[in-house]
Amino acid sequence: MTPHDARRADTRGLWLMVASAACFAAMAPFSRRFLQAIEPQSIVLARAVVMTALFAAWGALRGIPLAGRDRRGLLLRGVVGWLAISCYVWSTQHLPSGQAVLLQYSHPVFVALLAPWLLRERPGPLHWPLVLLGLAGLAVALEVGASFERAAAIGLIGALLSGVAYLTVRRISATERPLTIVFWFSWVMLPCSLASFALPESLIDGVAARLGALPASALTGAQRHVLPRDGGEWLGYAGVVVAGLIGQLTLTEGLKRAGAARAVAVTMVGPLFGLAFDACCFAIVPTPFALAGTLLVVAAVALLAFLKPAAPAPENDASAPLPSRGAFDA
């Protein structure tokens, strides 16, 4: 490949990453507008079914074994990812799209916060200032101490869990192929989401009620249903699944062409798309605090993406940072 061809491939890869971020962000307004009465685990289950079928077929066509070697690590990544996605789906139903998407895309801040302890990475001189900048940006965007919505606590929990899942991927990526990891993630989500229907109350609703983010009275009655009941809900259901599928495919193809650090930086346009969808779909104009905080988080994560650990973890750590996993690929 000539240098010119390499530059063209990199540019195409970056545009695919932008498209991926737009698709993942688009899932939030679909959920908020059409699916507020749907049980979140139903949305998670639909996503899991489509992903499992897609990646199983993909693995079969390319002759990639999906059984995996580190099955304990793959199972752990799947369960943590399922919990993270459950939190994200719930947040898209209760928060403005800009906030929900920002919270999900903030997970690299939590990765940077936890990696020095869990992966034994020695951070560089700008590491902690950028982590603090990202956390400060979240506090500003969410207006902590002023009009903070308690529902945002679920989104924060989801971002933290996404960070833990990301760190798990860092560990198992030494022995597992990317397609194997993503297949196991979707495959583990299937029984987890199905089992949650047997619980006496909605999983995340119960957590939210205990955090004061949802009235306990909301857990009684038939406020939520499992399957769509009208055309609008079916449109939202299909929109979430299709947008997530296109987002995953463009993410995968983009990463083949663009470097990991540049890819992470580019995908951070996702929160900006979230704000744009709020303005276009719900006539919600971001407050100065929301806009300023979002820009701070985007800047902090983009700069963190270009920083390599001063000393990698001694065993199975990946030498280069992994890309952002997107909204539903937590």
What's the longest Cα–Cα distance across the chain? 64
236-270: per-residue pLDDT in tens? Answer: 999 998 998 888 788 777 777 766 667 777 888 89
Query: What sign does the CA torsion over 217, 80, 26, 198 have?
Result: negative
pTM for this predicted structure = 0.85
Contact (Cβ atoms closer than 8 angstroms) between residue 47 and residue 189: yes
Report domain extents, the chain.
Answer: 39-216+277-305
Query: Given this model, what pLDDT does residue 100 score?
Result: 92
> Rounded to an integer, what distance in angstroms lies between the CA atom of residue 320 and that of residue 314?
14
> Rounded mean pLDDT of the chain?
83
Query: Given this model, what pLDDT does residue 302 score?
Result: 87
Amino acid identity for residue 236 in this structure: G
13-38: per-residue pLDDT in tens? Answer: 788 888 988 999 999 999 999 998 89
